[in-house]
Structure 1
Amino acid sequence: MLKGCAAAGPIRVREAGAVQCRGLGAAGRGRRRPVATSVRCSRPEAPPVTGLAAAAAAAGGGGMGLAESLRLGRLVEDGLSYKESFIVRCYEVGINKTATVETIANLLQEVGGNHALSVGFSTDGFATTPTMRKLRLIWVTSRMHIEIYKYPAWGDVVEIETWCQGEGRIGTRRDWIIKDLATGEVIGRATSKWVMMNQDTRKLQRVSDEVREEYLVFCPRTPRLAFPEEDNGSVKKIPKLEEPADYSRSELVPRRADLDMNQHVNNVTYIGWVLESMPQEIIDTHELQTITLDYRRECQHNDMVDSLTSLELADDYSTNGSAIGKQHKKEHHRFLHFLRLSSTGLEINRGRTEWRKLVR
């Protein structure tokens, strides 16, 4: 399992001459602030600093106030969800000049963290409520599911909406919808499940009524899902890969750049490790459509990891009614994945990916 990240990321500013204007991120319990709707301006003026930004500035957090005023994000739906827009940079695309799945996952993490900041949750990297901080409790990811219908290209602007809600007595879930800002087309969706863990003992904890009351005020009043739950890949069980695997990469080593602010391997790194053992012929002719990961164990900076992959033979390919489901099934391939510690063989996570034929 991995620790949830709730830290603000780098300020995004368009390089080509003009400065990109940022809307004010709303702050506080259900409070909303005006948002600048224009994307570019020739002579930007400093926006007024209010809400969370003003509080940070008053407390001496001038940098925090500046970041809040420049971030192109805002609370919507009466403060029950959050939207933020991003431009796809040249260093975020792959050989096809489209965003990589790691880029998409990083943006999901960024907008989720900024949502937590906008409603006043802590900036310690854990998105914790006051009661959680008092009891040394944190959120950790237990499952992540991403579907990408169309990869944004270099220079495209994407808008990501996110919201969270309760998930039984032991966790929460966070959902995302990804749109092409220029057309309004939904180009991707994602969902995740989180459980509560004691930061010191590393044991799971039930979500108390006090904690639920603190975060549910920012959640939709009725359940809202990024995917229809019936016949949806995000809820399907992932079987353990049987060895010997069809493909493998051994003793992958975490880099310093793979560590997050909490000194653990960032969850996006696991996606890269899964893809390391994919057969090259699939990488060359297909693109990743869906990835699901179950997180079972934390990985430390001095661990080495084995990545195992095998083709999964299955008759059904769930696509949630999207256009990709109309393609012929023979153009799709599904794989099972297994990451383990090289030294002990203990499971880190297991996953499933689906790949569609690449159209050039």
Structure 2
Amino acid sequence: MSGKKYSEEHKILFYETDCTRRVTVGMLVNIMMLASQDQSNELGVTVKKVKGLGFGWVITQHLIDIKRMPRIYEKVNVITEAASYNRYFCYRDFWIKSENGEELAKMHSVFVLMDQNKRKIARILPELIEPYSSDYTNKIERLPEPEKLISDEQVKTKKYQVRFMDIDSNQHVNNVHYFDWMMDALPSEFLLEHSLKKMNIKYKQEVHYGDTVESRAYIDLNDQEIKTVHQIKTEHTLCCTASCEWIPQK
């Protein structure tokens, strides 16, 4: 048994794509997260209700698999399911399919409930999870860690100042901005010649308004797979890590 599924149609808009006319990975995640929020609103678990209780949902990790990025003006079906939960973690699945049912992308995500005053993870409240009919489990999923960026050699870096527009209702940087920072640290030639196949991204510490972040990326072309490894850091803190697999652009 698993939770209630929810689906909605979405037309890919021009501002969700880059110069290749394909959706960016950040916008791909945005589209899936919108479906998640729309389901929550339909079930009465609105942002206003969660904030009224003094909490906010925070994502700790995404595992993303991409068969093909949706293209500009393409109509897709976005499906999501709050699959299971335990005392502290909620697990949600997402799928994006073409009009003819072809699976284009899928994502597995981990959410926690954050106490907005204490800035600490809280136990999942029954009234915030029961509407989804998710399975309760005593097990904690052991998801793979992103690969580590070990050497500073050949690491490409860019710095960014966190803007007011980057902050969400939880008072920290919206998770989607990390994707843009990570991809932007890669050379344009690499991005034009390769398509993202898989991404494992894990959030470790919050980034706030006014912080200066450094995006660090390493391209590994030493074996049969094309990989990149990423870090987002503030001056003293490692905030987010990711590892990606790529294929040559078709």
Common fold by TM > 0.5: yes
Tell me, in whole angstroms, the C-alpha distance in 1 between the residues paired with 2:133 and 2:211: 37
Q: Which has the higher contact order (CA 8 A, sep 6+)?
A: 2
Q: Deviations over 1:77-123 (max 9, x none)?
A: 99811101110112222112122212211101111111110100123
1:189 aligned partner: 106
User: Does structure 1 residue 261 correspond to structure 2 residue 185?
Assistant: no
Give 1:158 deviation, angstroms. Answer: 0.7
Structure 1: gaps (5+ residues): 1-76, 224-228, 316-329
User: Does structure 1 residue 122 correspond to structure 2 residue 46?
Assistant: yes
1:96 aligned partner: 20
**CA 1:180–1:123 in structure 2 vs 1: closer, same or farther (change >3 Å)?**
same
2:119 aligned partner: 202
**Which amino acid letter does the alignment assign opposite residue 247 of structure 1?**
V
Matches within 5 A, 1:222-301: 235-301=143-209
**CA 1:165–1:213 in structure 2 vs 1: closer, same or farther (change >3 Å)?**
farther
2:249 aligned partner: 358
Tell me, in whole angstroms, the C-alpha distance in 2 between the residues paired with 1:193 and 1:259: 20
1:326 aligned partner: none
Give 1:235 deviation, angstroms. Answer: 2.6
Q: 1:248·1:306 contact (CA, 8 Å) conserved in 2?
A: no
What's the secondary structure of 1:235's corresponding residue? Answer: coil
Matches within 5 A, 1:130-145: 133-134=52-53, 136-145=54-63
What's the secondary structure of 1:274's corresponding residue? Answer: helix
Give TM-score scaled by structure 1 length. 0.63
Tell me, in whole angstroms, the C-alpha distance in 1 between the residues paired with 2:222 and 2:200: 16
Dislocated runs of 4+, deviation >4 Å: 220-223, 312-315
Q: Deviations over 1:275-303 (max 9, x none)?
A: 12223432121011122211011111100
> What RMSD over aligned residues (CA atoms) do the two structures have, in Å?
2.7
Q: 1:163·1:219 contact (CA, 8 Å) conserved in 2?
A: no
What's the secondary structure of 2:44's corresponding residue? Answer: coil
Give 1:255 deviation, angstroms. Answer: 3.0
* Correspondence for 2:68 among 147, 150, 155: 150
Give 1:245 deviation, angstroms. Answer: 4.7
Tell me, in whole angstroms, the C-alpha distance in 1 between the residues paired with 2:159 and 2:128: 42
2:238 aligned partner: 347
1:159 aligned partner: 77
Tell me, in whole angstroms, the C-alpha distance in 1 between the residues paired with 2:114 and 2:131: 21
* Correspondence for 2:218 among 299, 310, 319: 310
**CA 1:294–1:139 in structure 2 vs 1: closer, same or farther (change >3 Å)?**
same
**How many correspondences in the alignment?**
247
Q: 2:11·2:75 contact (CA, 8 Å) conserved in 1?
A: yes
**Which amino acid letter does the alignment assign opposite residue 213 of structure 2?**
V
Give TM-score scaled by structure 2 length. 0.88
**Which amino acid letter does the alignment assign opposite residue 305 of structure 1?**
V
1:337 aligned partner: 230
1:219 aligned partner: 133
**Which amino acid letter does the alignment assign opposite residue 7 of structure 2?**
K
Q: 1:241·1:337 contact (CA, 8 Å) conserved in 2?
A: yes
Give 1:179 deviation, angstroms. Answer: 0.4
Give 1:133 deviation, angstroms. Answer: 4.4
Structure 2: gaps (5+ residues): none
Q: 2:9·2:75 contact (CA, 8 Å) conserved in 1?
A: yes
**Which amino acid letter does the alignment assign opposite residue 357 of structure 1?**
P
Q: 1:245·1:309 contact (CA, 8 Å) conserved in 2?
A: no
Q: Deviations over 1:196-218 (max 9, x none)?
A: 221111122233xxx24651342
Q: 2:60·2:203 contact (CA, 8 Å) conserved in 1?
A: yes
Tell me, in whole angstroms, the C-alpha distance in 2 between the residues paired with 1:239 and 1:178: 26
What's the secondary structure of 2:27's corresponding residue? Answer: helix
Matches within 5 A, 1:98-113: 98-113=22-37
Give 1:243 deviation, angstroms. Answer: 3.4
Q: 1:245·1:308 contact (CA, 8 Å) conserved in 2?
A: no
